[in-house]
Chains A and B, each alone.
Chain A
Amino acid sequence: EAQVTQNPRYLITVTGKKLTVTCSQNMNHEYMSWYRQDPGLGLRQIYYSMNVEVTDKGDVPEGYKVSRKEKRNFPLILESPSPNQTSLYFCASRTGGGTEAFFGQGTRLTVV
Chain B
Amino acid sequence: AQSVTQLDSQVPVFEEAPVELRCNYSSSVSVYLFWYVQYPNQGLQLLLKYLSGSTLVKGINGFEAEFNKSQTSFHLRKPSVHISDTAEYFCAVRFPYSGGGADGLTFGKGTHLIIQP
B-contacting residues of A (Cβ < 8 Å)? 4, 31, 33, 35, 40-45, 48, 50, 56, 58-59, 90, 92, 96-97, 99-101, 103-106
Contacts and interface: CB of A to CB of B under 8 A. Distances in A.
A42 B108 contact: yes
A92 B96 CA distance: 17
Contacts of A35: 104-105, 107
A103 B90 contact: no
Nearest to B94: A99
B9 A33 contact: no
A43 B107 contact: yes
Contact of A105 (B43, B46, B96): B43
Given A48-B102, A48-B103, A90-B44, 16 more contacts: A33-B104, A35-B105, A40-B9, A42-B4, A43-B90, A44-B107, A45-B104, A50-B103, A58-B104, A90-B43, A92-B105, A99-B96, A100-B34, A101-B105, A103-B45, A104-B43
Contacts of B45: 103
B32 A103 contact: no
Nearest to A90: B43
Given A33-B104, A43-B107, A103 B44 contact: yes
A50 to B, nearest CB: 7
Interface residues of B, number: 27
A99 B108 contact: no
B51 interface: yes
- Residue from A35, A48, A99 with most neighbouring chain B CB atoms (10 Å): A99
Nearest to B51: A99
Contacts of B109: 40-42
Contacts of B103: 31, 33, 48, 50
A97 B107 contact: no
A41 B108 CA distance: 8
B32 A99 contact: yes
Interface string B85-115: 0000010101011001011110111100000
B6 to A, nearest CB: 8
A100 B92 CA distance: 11
A46 to B, nearest CB: 9
